[in-house]
Amino acid sequence: MVGAALVLMLLVRGLLVQSFYIPSGSMEPTLEPADRILVNKIGVASSLQRGDLVVFDGTHTFADRAAGTGSEQTSAVGRVLGAMTSMVSININESDYVKRVVGLPGDHVVCCDGNGLLTVNDIAVEEPYLYPGDKPSDLTFDVTVPAEHIWVMGDHRSDSADSRAHLGDPGGGMVRLDDVIGRAWMVYWPPGRAGLLRASGSLQGIPARTAGERHT
C-alpha cells in the first residue's frame, strides 16, 4: 500500500509540477549549471507571455535527428517515467530544454536594429537578463512566428544553441506549443540560489502584430 501510494503521489505531482536539473550555462546568469528548478505544468501553452522561461521537449525541433524521434509509445512511456522520477531530479530525458520565450505566435522578431538591439513587432527591447558582455545576437535573423509556435533564446546568447541555431532546419527553429512542458517558476537548489523566476518586464507589454501588418 505504501509503495502504491508513493507511486501515485509522484505521478500526481509530476502532472502538476516537475523538477529539472540545469546541465549547462546556456541560461546564465538567470540559471546556473547544477541549479534545480520547479516547472509549473498547468495550462501553460494558453497563458505564455514573452519573457517566460519554459521547458520544452525538443525531440522534433532541437534534438539530433540522427538519433531518430522514436515512436509515440516510447515518448509516452518516457513521460510517465519522467513524472515518477522528476521530483528527485533524476534526469532521464536529454531532449528537454529550458529557454526564454522571445516571440509568441504572430510576432515579428528581428536582430539586430541600428542600435544593436533585438526588436519584437518593431519595438526595440532592452534585455537586462543577458550574460554580461553578450550581444543580443551575433547571428542576424528576421522571422515571423507561425501560429501555435514560439521563438526561444537563451540568456547566455554566445553559449546557447537556441532557435537561432535551427533556422535552417525544418520548422525554422520554432518550438511547437504542444511541445512546451511547463513554465519555470522557481529555483529550489542549491539553497543559496533559491528564489522565484519571473518573466522579464522588458518583453511584456509589447502589442501583438495586427494580421496583415507590413514590416517597417
Instruction: Report, as residue numbers or ranges, the catalytic residues.
Output: 26, 99
Q: How far apart are CA 196 and CA 11, in angstroms?
A: 24
Report the SS3 class of residue 25: coil
